[in-house]
Structure 1
Amino acid sequence: MNQKVVLITGCSSGIGLALAVRFANDEKKRFMVYATMRNLSKSKALVEAAGRSLGRTLEIKQLDVCDENSIKACVDSLPERRVDILISNAGLGLIGPIECQSIEQMKVVMDTNFFGFVRLLKEILPDMKRRKRGHIVVISSVMGIQGMLFNDIYSASKFAVEGFCESLVVQSMRFKINITLIEPGPVITEFEHKVYGEGLKTDLSKADKDTADMFTNIYLKNYREIFESVGQTAEDIAEHTLMIVTMDNPPFRHQTNMLYTPMTTLKYADPSGDLSIDEFYKMVFEHDKVFHASLNFLKLLRWRSRKSFSLEKSK
């Protein structure tokens, strides 16, 4: 049986690393994985996690999604430039009041999360069209369909990706190319540790008192609790992704966290958008006791099922 060639971006840690290891260690050996990252000096964790699959069903390559030459060089190095499954995972996060963020910071997030994906497609899509087959998988987010407090720019980048893919998928179907948006909710990874840590260091001097208080005492205060209550692991996302790419008719969108799905369902229930916005507002500012009680209940269920997570690194 011919192996499918899988190219994954952002594999130095987190979801990308978990994806690379899971696909490379597929019991049926259905995949040849090219795990890529911007900086190869950060490949140690992947090398250790890959184990015996390294050099067999997994190879590590350099690829910077913000550099067209880097992308081309990586694809040119593949046998026949063939990519059967592209998993676009590389990304950056940014939280906080927009008054405290520079336009340059915002541009970097958009350049990586949105234009990075577009650069990949410009290089890989023509060959998929020529072969009339392929699967484009994007690790998106529920924040690509539901905006979130103090995640304005990150949500904007994911909305851009989702709108782009929704436009492209109709054309792609004519070439028998599948596109799937994987939409996790909270995921406990180094990515989240970093975003949370940077959020704690935000200079709030340019924000008014009410906004600064909202970010510190509502958003950051609840950040860890939400992740510890409903957060998934990177390995969970890898399992969902493997399931999707092995389907005969993969869906266009797939949410990985059923605990979070009711939140996004509100948006689809009311085309005006008023229902979801009103409920989010009440949950944050009026029903905080019920909100915390619900999170504590979910955390208890996780603990009892031995699946509780923490944003605190084990010492």
Structure 2
Amino acid sequence: MDQKTVLITGCSSGIGMALAVRIAKDEKKRFKVYATMRNPNKSEKLAEAAGRTLGRTLEIKQLDVCDEKSIKACVDSIPNRRIDVLISNAGMGLIGPIECQSLEEMKAVMDTNFFGLVRLLKGILPDMKRRKRGHIVVISSVMGIQGILFNDIYAASKFAVEGFCESLAVQALRFNLNLTLIEPGPVITEFERKVYEEGLKTDLSAADKETANMFTNVYLKNYNQIFQSLGQTPEDIAKHTHKIITTNKPPFRHQTNNLYTPMTTLKYADPNGDLPIDTFYKMVFEHDKIFNASLNFIKMLRWGSRKSFNLGKPQQ
């Protein structure tokens, strides 16, 4: 069997790096991985993690999902422009009250998370259609199906991705193509740490006192606790994704975190949409002690199987 060509975006750290390394180290050597990143100067950690696969089943290339010329140059450099599996992973986050965020920041999130995927597919999808062969894998998020407090813009970008892919999936079937949305919950990465650190620096002067207090003393306070209790590792996501791309009939959606799935199920349990919003509100504002006790219990159960995780202290 010929090796499948896999192109992955956002591989300088976190989920992208874990994906590239795991797939390149596939025991059956079924894949040739092109691990891409916006800035190749940040490839040192990936090269180290790749080990002996570097130059064999893994190559590092430059690709910026916000630059069509960059995408074209990368795809053109791949033999016959043949990409069997595209894993769209590059992204950026943003947390905080919307009155404290600029439209430029919001546009940057949408440009990377949504239009970055669109640009990739404009450059790669026509070849897949012509060959009638290919698998498009998008690293989405549970926030693509359920909004979370103070993640308004990030959730919007992932909702856009999910709607786009639902529409595209119908067309893809006509060309014998597979499309899969991978939907992690909290994942312990430098990406999340940076988002949190930027959140700590948020200028809250434009927000009213109650909103500012809610962000600092409710959201940021619980952020660390949620990751300690429910967070997965990048390797967990890579393991799930590796299994997805090696199955004969990959699903359209795949949630990676069984601990978080009951939360997203709430959305489908009530056609009116009130149940998840009401449940989250009561958890955060009316039953916060029970919520925190539950997180502590889950954390205790998982303590022996994972390292502790600390993002730092919320601002006062």
Query: Would the TM-score normalized by the shorter structure come out above 0.5?
Result: yes
Q: Once the two structures are superposed, what CA deviation does each residue of 1:81-118 show, in whole Å capped at 9, x if it has no partner? A: 00000000000000000000000000000000000000
Match of 2:169 in 1: 169
Match of 1:33 in 2: 33
Give the letter for the 2:17 counterpart.
L
Aligned residue for 2:92, secondary structure, equals coil
Give the letter for the 1:291 counterpart.
F
Aligned residue for 2:32, secondary structure, equals strand
Residue 203 of structure 1 and its aligned partner are, at CA, apart by 0.3
- Partners in 1 of 2:271 and 2:200 — Cα distance? 35
- Partners in 2 of 1:67 and 1:312 — Cα distance? 32
Q: Once the two structures are superposed, what CA deviation does each residue of 1:135-172 show, in whole Å capped at 9, x if it has no partner? A: 00000000000000000000000000000000000010
Q: Percent identity?
A: 79
Preserved contact between residue 229 and residue 308 of structure 1 (Cα < 8 Å):
no
Match of 1:83 in 2: 83
Residue 307 of structure 1 and its aligned partner are, at CA, apart by 2.0
Match of 1:250 in 2: 250
- Partners in 2 of 1:264 and 1:211 — Cα distance? 25
Q: How does 1:123-138 map to 2 (within 5 A)?
A: 123-138=123-138
- Partners in 1 of 2:253 and 2:306 — Cα distance? 25
Query: Alignment RMSD, CA only?
Result: 0.8
Match of 1:115 in 2: 115
Match of 2:96 in 1: 96
Q: Once the two structures are superposed, what CA deviation does each residue of 1:161-214 show, in whole Å capped at 9, x if it has no partner? A: 000000000010010100000000000000001000000000000000000000
Preserved contact between residue 196 and residue 311 of structure 2 (Cα < 8 Å):
no
Match of 1:310 in 2: 309
Query: Does 2:200 match 1:200?
Result: yes
Residue 309 of structure 1 and its aligned partner are, at CA, apart by 3.6
Q: How does 1:196-275 map to 2 (within 5 A)?
A: 196-275=196-275
Aligned residue for 2:114, secondary structure, equals helix
Give the letter for the 1:311 counterpart.
N
- Give ranges in structure 1 of 5+ residues lacking alignment: none
- Partners in 1 of 2:308 and 2:99 — Cα distance? 32
- Partners in 2 of 1:136 and 1:276 — Cα distance? 30
Normalising by the residue count of structure 2, what TM-score does the alignment of the two structures yield? Answer: 0.98
- Partners in 1 of 2:55 and 2:41 — Cα distance? 18
Residue 253 of structure 1 and its aligned partner are, at CA, apart by 0.3
Q: How does 1:272-311 map to 2 (within 5 A)?
A: 272-304=272-304, 306-311=305-310
- Partners in 2 of 1:230 and 1:308 — Cα distance? 12
- Partners in 1 of 2:212 and 2:6 — Cα distance? 44
Match of 1:62 in 2: 62
- Partners in 2 of 1:22 and 1:272 — Cα distance? 41
Normalising by the residue count of structure 1, what TM-score does the alignment of the two structures yield? Answer: 0.98
Residue 312 of structure 1 and its aligned partner are, at CA, apart by 4.4
